[in-house]
Structure 1
Amino acid sequence: MDLTITTAELATAAADVIRLVPGKLVDPVLSGLLLTATAQGVELAANDRERTARVTCDALVHSEGQILVPAKPLAETLKALEQPQVRLVVEGTRLAIRAEGARFALPLLDVELHPGVPSPPAAGGSVSARLLASALSTVAATAARDEALPIFTGVRVRSEGPNLVLRATDRYRMAIATIPWQPGSASAEVDALIPATLLAEVGKQVNGSVSIGVDANRLALTWDDMVVTTAVLDGSYLTETKLALADVDTHVELDADTFSNATRRVALFTDTRGVVSVEVGDTHLRLRTADRQTGEAEESVKATIDGGRTSPSYQARYLIDALRPFAGRRVHLAIQPGMRATVVTAVEPGEVDLRYIIMPMLPPKTT
Structure 2
Amino acid sequence: MKLTIEQAHLAAAVGYAARSLPARPPVPVLAGILLDAQEERLRLSAFDYEVSADTAVPATVTEDGRALVSGRLLSDIVGTVRGDVHLELTGPRMVLKAGSARFTLPTLPLEEYPALPDPGAAAGTLAGPAFADAVAQVACAVSKEESLPTLTGIGLRHDSEAGTLTLYATDRYRFAVRTLAWKDADLADCTAVIPAKALTDATKAAADETTVDLALPHANSGLFSLRSEHHTTTIRALEGELPKYETLFPDEFAHEATVEIAALKAAAQRVALVSTREAPIKLTFTADSTLVLEGGSSDDAQAVDNVSTSLEGGELSIAFNPSYLIDGLNAIDAESVHFQFVSATKPAVMRGAGSDDQALRYLLMPVRLSG
Question: TM class by shorter-chain length?
Answer: over 0.9
Q: Which ranges of structure 2 fall in alignment gaps of 5 or more residues?
A: none
Cross-structure match for 2:73: 73
Cross-structure match for 1:37: 37
- Helix, strand or coil at the partner of 2:62: strand
1:44 and 1:23 mapped to 2: Cα distance? 19
* Of 311, 316, 339, the match for 2:317: 311
Q: Is the 8 A contact 1:20 1:202 kept in 2?
A: no
Offset from partner CA, 1:311-359 (integer Å, 9 cap, x none): 2100111111111133651221011224321100112227971111111
Q: Is the 8 A contact 1:67 1:108 kept in 2?
A: yes
Q: Does 1:331 align with 2:349?
A: no
- Helix, strand or coil at the partner of 1:109: coil
Cross-structure match for 2:176: 175
- Helix, strand or coil at the partner of 1:198: helix
1:76–1:279 Cα change, 3 Å: same
Offset from partner CA, 1:238-275 (integer Å, 9 cap, x none): 33124252352111112111111111111122244421
Q: Is the 8 A contact 1:5 1:60 kept in 2?
A: yes
Q: Is the 8 A contact 1:144 1:153 kept in 2?
A: yes
1:337 partner amino acid = S
Q: Return the offset for 1:130.
A: 1.0
Q: Is the 8 A contact 2:22 2:30 kept in 1?
A: no
Cross-structure match for 1:302: 308
1:199–1:118 Cα change, 3 Å: closer
Cross-structure match for 2:237: 232
Q: Return the offset for 1:48.
A: 0.4
Could you tell which deviates more after superposition, 215-224 or 321-330? 321-330
- Helix, strand or coil at the partner of 2:193: strand
Q: Does 1:258 align with 2:257?
A: no
Q: CA RMSD in A?
A: 2.1
Cross-structure match for 1:17: 17
Cross-structure match for 1:345: 351
1:117 partner amino acid = L
Cross-structure match for 2:90: 91
Q: Is the 8 A contact 2:81 2:101 kept in 1?
A: no
Q: Does 1:49 align with 2:53?
A: no
Q: Is the 8 A contact 1:210 1:221 kept in 2?
A: yes
1:350 and 1:95 mapped to 2: Cα distance? 55
Offset from partner CA, 1:31-88 (integer Å, 9 cap, x none): 1111111114111001101111100111111111221111111111111101x21111
1:276 and 1:327 mapped to 2: Cα distance? 23
How many residues align? The count is 363
1:36 and 1:169 mapped to 2: Cα distance? 40
1:350 and 1:104 mapped to 2: Cα distance? 56
> TM-score, normalised on structure 1?
0.92
Cross-structure match for 1:131: 130
1:351–1:99 Cα change, 3 Å: farther
Q: Return the offset for 1:308.
A: 4.1
2:163 partner amino acid = P
> TM-score, normalised on structure 2?
0.91
2:48 and 2:239 mapped to 1: Cα distance? 20
2:11 and 2:356 mapped to 1: Cα distance? 36
Offset from partner CA, 1:282-317 (integer Å, 9 cap, x none): 122211223245322222222111114342100111
Q: What are the within-5 Å matches in structure 2 for residues 210-249 of structure 1?
A: 210-214=212-216, 215=218, 216-234=221-239, 236-243=241-248, 245-249=250-254
1:26 and 1:326 mapped to 2: Cα distance? 39
